[in-house]
């Protein structure tokens, strides 16, 4: 398998920037990993906070222990600024992933020549 294909697959299937690290492009790989980790931590933190809020409301008796009521609460628990932050973080994560795949394939191809 070509280096370009391996690097693109590693960046696509493992984590953004891994293909760059394999190609010895440490700065690019580290930057992609950093941005991806920050975006992923924002997403996970938001999800965790929403889950804790819902669990607190279940424990206090505001929401019955019913899958339909819990599902409705999950779908209605987004606020404007919170939703915007999550959307930006998701776009950054997907963007980093795509950039990592394309750029590692391009760099791998250049190193093969």
**Per-residue pLDDT at 62:** 83
Give residue limits of the domains in the chain.
3-112
Residues 6+ apart with CB under 8 A from 19: 6, 7, 8, 9, 10, 11, 12, 29, 100, 101, 104, 105, 108
What predicted TM-score, i.e. pTM, was given to this entire model?
Answer: 0.82
What are the pLDDT digits (tens) for 63-95?
788 788 777 777 776 666 678 888 999 999 999
**Per-residue pLDDT at 78:** 66
Q: Which residues of the chain have pLDDT under 70?
A: 77-81
């Amino acid at each position: 398998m070509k280096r370009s294909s391996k690097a693109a697959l590693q960046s696509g299937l493992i984590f953004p920037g891994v293909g760059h690290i394999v190609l010895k492009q440490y700065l690019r790989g580290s930057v992609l990993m950093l941005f991806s980790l920050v975006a992923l931590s924002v997403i996970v933190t938001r999800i965790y906070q929403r889950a804790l809020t819902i669990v607190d409301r279940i424990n206090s008796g505001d929401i019955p222990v019913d899958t339909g009521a819990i599902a409705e609460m999950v779908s209605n628990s987004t606020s404007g600024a919170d939703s915007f932050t999550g959307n930006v973080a998701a776009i950054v994560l997907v963007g980093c992933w795509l950039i990592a795949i394309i750029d590692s394939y391009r760099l791998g191809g250049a190193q093969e020549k």
